[in-house]
Chain A
Amino acid sequence: MLFSFRWLLLEYAVRSLFRRFGKNFFIFLILSFLIFILSSVLMIAESIKAELNATLKTLPDITLQRFVAGKQTQIPISRVDALLEIQGVGSVTPRIWGYYYFKPAGVNFSVVGLDIYEEPYSATMARLIKDVNWTQGSYDAMMIVGEGVKTILRENYYNDFFHFITPEGQTKKVGIAGVFHSDLALEANDLIVLPKRAAYEIFGMNASDATDIVLKVSANVSEIPTIVAKIIEKFPDLRVVTRDDIRVSYQNIFDYKSGFFLALFCVCAFAFFIIVYDKSNALSSEEKKEIGILKALGWDTDTVLQEKFFESFILSLGAFLFGLATALFYVYALQAPLLRAIFTGYSALKPPFDLPYTLSVSMIVLLFLLSVPVYIAATLIPAWRTSIVDADEVLR
């Protein structure tokens, strides 16, 4: 047949690798390290993407925000009825939410106002506030908080309640009714849920306004563009954000971030391959002699080349597998200390979530393509230089 596999040659290549252990081990270590870094970053990005996608599923179909003079402002709740008249719109819920800046810790909490008697606008919310005891006792109101919020409050000696400061400068004492333990850690970590009335007071907002309005679409998902068009026609000052918009922008951010990292990585890798090229280009006299002997014994240039190819292939494949395995362990077992800060560093409260396991075949293929062929390309010309050594030089 055209290609019959030469096992003995492979064996010879393995021995040859071990004979020059020092040099090869050095290359192996650096290559594994590069692959480890690369795999870790891509895996973290992929994992966060998966986590975000899970979160996205819980988002409303359409979110309406009102813009005045280019800035987002409140929407009058009176518009709800007009929105309900549009065909295909299932339910319309005004939301009241925002960020509360907690000065002593220098962090923002996400505060969401909810009417416990009203149907919550998302299934996750419903799940979060189920089984919570809302009896107030001596407090102005009760709230449930995410684990991150709870920790920060405790660090500031708020164990059972918290004093919100309204824009007018009054304090509002809100008791902690519970903590949610959510599998959607990324979103729920910095969250505070409390009754609508309390939220209006904390934000100093007028009770006839809402922060934004969310819609559920009762018709087919493919009808969303028509519904969007109708809303814009009716209320030109509203900005319409569909779930798909959010998904695309998230995906772009993460692809962009990992892409940017990859570009940086390429520079490092390039430097490494220059070293490899240099190292393997400088033929030692011992190696030269060996090739000469092999040629005199009946090896041809192609065989020598193939042997050299096996060497680089085994070395790079080994480094690839080793780097990949350590990256898997580092990302999913150790939860990627240090590196995950690249992606989730934008809020002090965001980090504590588990990276879900998302390794796919395509990811492995991608990592393979970025490591093994590139390494082999760097050794191609040095290998050729080795293979053309003349046999008659060793005979003298």
Chain B
Amino acid sequence: MTLTPEIIALLTLDVIFLGLGTLALILSLRIAYRWDYASSTPLQYRLTKQSTLVAVIIKYIFILKLPLFLFFVYTCDKLSSVITGAMCASGVVNSVGFGLDLTLFKLFNLYGFGFWLLLHVEDTSHVRLAYTRLKFILFALLCVPLFAEIVLEIGFFTRLDVSKIVSCCGTLFSAASSSASLSLLFNVDARLWVCLFYFFYMVSLIALGFKSTAGMIVSNTLFLIFALISLIVFFSTYVYELPTHRCPFCLLQKEYYYVGYGLYIMLFTGTFCAVGGGLLALMTHTIPYRYWRLSGLFNTAYVLSISAYPLAYYLKNGVWL
């Protein structure tokens, strides 16, 4: 166990989240079970007030989780200078078996709680608070990945051993990766992933044009997946200008002007607006066009900036990597 100040900060906040989250879960289960907008009993009256507490707790957690996600990645990146063999955050994340799962849980929770907030805004401006029960059921469900993330994070930091030698991103993200699913990605031709990436970007634009809810959700989910894959196997090599360096984490380092933060923010915001807006549309039967427009904007910004890397490389050197 290594107690650097960064880890203590993350753990302290985790404990706070755990406490407040448990309180919110208990309240929200009760609300989900007993909510009846039409009744004017003292119970309903109390539930109404408690629902504001739950909402406040969730907002608190979400608003902190956004910068904390960046801080987590940053901490891992910083630890990579202590742990032998790690060159960037990926080595640290993977030094514990479930490190990658933890990162994915974190990401999933950001999407989940972000969507919860969209639903919350929709609910509080509805004349009959029609989605209150729904949003509290949703929160109770979201608590599972939330608590999983917190427990994993505590486990992650207590198990992190700075004297252990780990592999760097060069071996993790290559055909020789120990993870079967990861190595599969590299055994397939990179061009396939890149084509899929651009393909689903086009599909998402078409879905936006037709205002198709299902189209937006599906195309953006796939777009996100292939964007991440193509980033690892293809685009990142152009950022590093090294054909063998494939890593989604090194982008976040100073050597590359922290460009990863910008890229990921664009990608995640864009796909979040699309999928979140789409799910909202399914539940409320309205078209959340402003979210979708935002999504189109961010996705396009991402596609343009990530495509600029290989193009610039080609223009400069006259060859592809």
Asked whether the complex places CB atoms of A and B closer than 8 A, the reply is: yes
In the complex, what residues of A have CB within 8 A of residue B67's CB? 365, 369
Least CB separation from B121: chain A residue: A2
CB < 8 Å neighbour of A305 from B4, B52, B64: B52
A45 to chain B, nearest CB (A): 8
A349 to chain B, nearest CB (A): 28
B310 to chain A, nearest CB (A): 30
In the complex, what residues of A have CB within 8 A of residue B82's CB? 248, 251-252
B3 touches A380 (CB 8 A): no
Chain A binding surface, main DSSP class:
helix
B5 touches A259 (CB 8 A): yes
Interface size class of A (residues with CB under 8 A): 20 to 34
B3 touches A262 (CB 8 A): yes
CB < 8 Å neighbour of B9 from A251, A252, A366: A366
Measured in the bound complex, the distance between the Cα atoms of B7 and A376 in whole Å is: 20
Given contacts A369-B71, A377-B16, contact A301 B60 (CB under 8 A): no
In the complex, what residues of B have CB within 8 A of residue A383's CB? 56
Complex interface bits, A254-273 against B, C-beta within 8 A gives 1, otherwise 0: 01101110110010000000
Given contacts A248-B163, A305-B56, A384-B52, contact A370 B9 (CB under 8 A): yes
Q: Is B12 an interface residue (CB 8 A)?
A: yes
54-86 of chain A: CB within 8 A of chain B: none
B56 touches A384 (CB 8 A): yes
Least CB separation from B68: chain A residue: A369
A388 touches B49 (CB 8 A): yes
In the complex, what residues of A have CB within 8 A of residue B78's CB? 362
A390 to chain B, nearest CB (A): 9
339-396 of chain A: CB within 8 A of chain B: 362, 365-366, 369-370, 373-374, 376-377, 380-381, 383-384, 387-388
In the complex, what residues of A have CB within 8 A of residue B4's CB? 255, 258-259
B56 touches A262 (CB 8 A): no
Q: Is B6 an interface residue (CB 8 A)?
A: yes
Complex interface bits, B33-49 against A, C-beta within 8 A gives 1, otherwise 0: 00000000000000001
A366 touches B5 (CB 8 A): yes
Measured in the bound complex, the distance between the Cα atoms of B3 and A266 in whole Å is: 13
Measured in the bound complex, the distance between the Cα atoms of B3 and A259 in whole Å is: 5
Q: Is A302 an interface residue (CB 8 A)?
A: yes
Q: Is A198 an interface residue (CB 8 A)?
A: no
B53 touches A302 (CB 8 A): no
Complex interface bits, B150-164 against A, C-beta within 8 A gives 1, otherwise 0: 000000000000110
CB < 8 Å neighbour of A252 from B2, B52, B57, B60: B2
CB < 8 Å neighbour of A380 from B8, B12, B13, B56: B56
B52 touches A377 (CB 8 A): no
Measured in the bound complex, the distance between the Cα atoms of B78 and A366 in whole Å is: 13
Q: Which of A256, A305, A369 has the most CB of B within 10 A?
A: A369
In the complex, what residues of A have CB within 8 A of residue B49's CB? 301, 388
B5 touches A263 (CB 8 A): no
CB < 8 Å neighbour of A255 from B2, B68, B71, B124: B2
B20 touches A256 (CB 8 A): no
In the complex, what residues of A have CB within 8 A of residue B121's CB? 2
Measured in the bound complex, the distance between the Cα atoms of B54 and A301 in whole Å is: 13
In the complex, what residues of B have CB within 8 A of residue A366's CB? 5-6, 9
In the complex, what residues of B have CB within 8 A of residue A2's CB? 121
In the complex, what residues of A have CB within 8 A of residue B13's CB? 369, 373-374
Measured in the bound complex, the distance between the Cα atoms of B60 and A366 in whole Å is: 18
Contact surface of A with B, Cβ cutoff 8 Å: 2, 42, 45, 244, 248, 251-252, 255-256, 258-260, 262-263, 266, 301-302, 305, 362, 365-366, 369-370, 373-374, 376-377, 380-381, 383-384, 387-388
Further contacts, 6 of them, CB under 8 A, given A302-B52, A380-B57, A388-B52: A258-B4, A259-B8, A369-B67, A370-B5, A370-B8, A374-B16
Leading 8 A-B pairs by shortest Cβ distance: A259-B3, A388-B49, A255-B4, A384-B53, A377-B16, A369-B9, A262-B8, A370-B9
